[in-house]
Amino acid sequence: MRAHVAGEMSCPLPSCGRGVAAIDASLTAVLAIGFLFGLRHATDADHVAAVSTFVSRDGSLLRSCLVGTFWGAGHTLALLVAGLTTIMFKLTISPQIEKALETIVAFVLILLGGNVVLRSLTAVRVHRHEHAHHGDPHPHQHVHMHLAAGHAHAHRHLLALGGRPFLVGLLHGLAGSAALMLLVLATIPSPFVGVLYLLVFGIGSTAGMLVLSGAIAVPFIVTAGRADRLNVAIQAIAGATSVVLGLSLIWMLHA
């Protein structure tokens, strides 16, 4: 109450109140835009591919959403650290370091996708046996799906569930922080508002990834135990997509 009275005494003009309201409105607009940009940022192809490789092995919507949340937490932490470093110490990520980080992200996508492809291939079992029809033996080949490993994760510890998504999100955040820092510093002159913008941006990307990871997990959950061949095929497609995206990123970075 005293602060409010002091403010009125220090600025008796009617326009002062409108000025404060205008600042509050513009700050709200900036933060709302940051949140929306964060939501959209979660849908970037490399983010979707990385999270898809994690949720492809989960049979629970809750765990899949947690994977997206851990990814978003790592991503947000990286942005905040980069933002604070940039604002406080005037240090920026050089183009060479940015390129190296993006290259590491590409290799991580290849490794994650390759692991999913190998896991889906090992689930396929082809065996041959013979049947006798009217005294004549006929060989037959059958394809079976061995998905027993799909239940091994059912009781995984929370840290084991979120550790890798958190680290991958951290890496993605570092790789994409350079461009975002330039945008924030160029358009937001206030350091406090800049950090606040990054925090809201990170919250938006986390919320977006939480919803997105849950949506991505639905086909895997629906087909698990009901349509094993389709489930394995979807896993293989998700893994192959991650590998192809990682290779294309490397080609674009070093062509």
- List the single range of 71-75, 192-196, 215-219, 247-251 with lowest mean pLDDT: 192-196
pLDDT digits (tens, 9 = 90+) for 13-71: 444 445 555 556 788 888 898 899 999 999 999 999 999 998 887 768 888 899 999 99
Tell me how long the chain is. 255
Q: Which helix (H) or strand (E) holds 10?
A: helix 2-10
Other Cβ atoms within 10 Å of 249 Cβ, number: 20
Render pLDDT for 5-26 as a digit per residue (tens, 0 to 9). 334 334 444 444 455 555 567 8
Nearest alpha carbon to residue 234 among 210, 218, 246, 248: 218
Kindly state the tokens that stand for 164.
């890798």
More confident residue, 172 or 183: 172
Longest CA–CA span in the chain (Å) reads 108
What the block records as the tokens of 30 is: 């900036």
CA distance 115 to 120: 9
- The average confidence (pLDDT) of the chain is 79
Residue 191 CA to residue 178 CA, distance in Å, equals 16
Q: Which residue has the tokens 């790592």?
A: 74
> Residue 172: what pLDDT?
93
> Which 3-state string (H, E, C) describes 146-189?
CCHHHHCCCCCCHHHHHHHHHHHHHHHHHHHHHHHHHHHHHHCC
* Residue 155 in this model has a pLDDT that exceeds 70: no
What is the spatial distance between Cα 61 and Cα 22, in angstroms, rounded to a whole number? 43
- Retrieve residue 37's tokens: 């940009």
